[in-house]
Structure 1
Amino acid sequence: MDRLILAAEEQPLPIIPHLSELILGIVAFAVLLFVLWKFAVPRFEQLYEERTDAIEGGLKRAQEAQEQADRLKKQYEEQLAGLRAEAARIRDDARAEGQQIKAELRAEAEAEAARIKAQGEEQVAASRDAAERSLRGEVGGLSVQLAERLLGRQLSSDSARSDTIDSFLAELGGSTRRSGAN
């Protein structure tokens, strides 16, 4: 056993590295650290800055786009409100114009009705006058015949005939008026 212990003392422990391996590992680590620090870290920093700028730029562009969208929305809403007001004004104008046209048509219809009524009254008056003249002539002729029969002689002069017709019609008109008044 003593030999085993002695052999164990002469052999290095497997967990503790040899001094040469330790120095080589530190030098390799330093070279790797230097290469990384010199070449990789600046590239990572550059990529990080580019990425940060891209994100911040994207956020800034998004914010500007949002502000522009808000401005456009506000402008659109103002235009829409203006168009709604214009549409309301046009509707009101159309209603007013419709009322005016309606009133004009009503006035024209009333004027036309009055004209037709006046024309009808004129036609009735003309027909009545024509009928009255016709009746006067007939009544005049009949009254002369009656007077001639009553008197037993002929009325030869036109003035006598005319006087007889006028007096008969006057008496007839007076009795018609009195019976119409009762």
Structure 2
Amino acid sequence: MAANIALLAAEEGGETHNPLIPETYDIVWSIVCLVIVGFVFWKFVLPMAQKVLAERTEQIDGGIKRAEEAQAEAQAALEQYRAQLAEARTEAAQIREDARNQGQQIINEMKAQAQEESDRIVTAGHTQLAAQRQQIVTELRSDLGRTAVDLAEKVIGESLSDDVKRAGSIDRFLDELDSVDAKTSAGK
């Protein structure tokens, strides 16, 4: 086979031609085609590719910007929520304190009312006791006077049934009893 290649080379004429180097017309037409394809690529394909890349870059940047805005809004909402929560806690503490104060005030008012009622009941009791004492003293004087008159009638032997005499004797006896009672109270 090597002999066949050598024969073919000898037949072409004696000029040695390097098969790795193309002919000049091939190089020229290849350069012309390359320039046309390069021009079409530069004029139509590259702007479209740059436009697509710019749109994608804009979408990515817009997405990042929207994400940052959403994150900022979320952070603002979180801060607002925390502020509202702190305000609600403060308000709840204030309401509890007000309720405690109102409860204490109600307790104090109820104690004051109870004390007033107790004082009123004690005063009414004292008044009632004084009235009952006076009534009992009056009844005792009346009974004592009658008993004294009855005893005096028995001792004297005569009837003291006359009302005027009886009243005078009873009054005299009671006055004497009061003076004795006052002397014993003063002596103590």
TM-score by length of 2: 0.74
Q: Distance in 2 between matches of 1:162 and 1:34?
A: 156
5 Å matches for 1:1-182?
Answer: 3-4=3-4, 6-7=6-7, 9=9, 16=20, 19=23, 28-172=33-177, 174=180, 178=184
Identity among equivalent pairs (%):
39
Greater mean alpha carbon deviation, residues 18-27 or residues 125-134:
18-27
Q: Distance in 1 between matches of 2:29 and 2:21?
A: 11
Displacement of 1:169 in angstroms is 3.4
Query: Higher relative contact order by CA 8 Å / sep ≥ 6: 1 or 2?
Result: 1
Q: Distance in 1 between matches of 2:5 and 2:84?
A: 100
Displacement of 1:79 in angstroms is 3.2
Supply the AA of the counterpart residue of 1:9. Answer: A
User: Secondary structure at the residue paired with 1:153?
Assistant: coil
Supply the AA of the counterpart residue of 1:16. Answer: L
TM-score by length of 1: 0.76
Q: Give a deviation string over 1:134-170, Cα, whole Å, max 9, x none.
A: 2221211111010110111112443432332234334
Q: Distance in 2 between matches of 1:53 and 1:134?
A: 117
- Number of aligned pairs? 182
What are structure 1's unaligned runs of at least 5 residues?
Answer: none
Q: Distance in 2 between matches of 1:76 and 1:5?
A: 91
Q: Distance in 1 between matches of 2:118 and 2:161?
A: 52
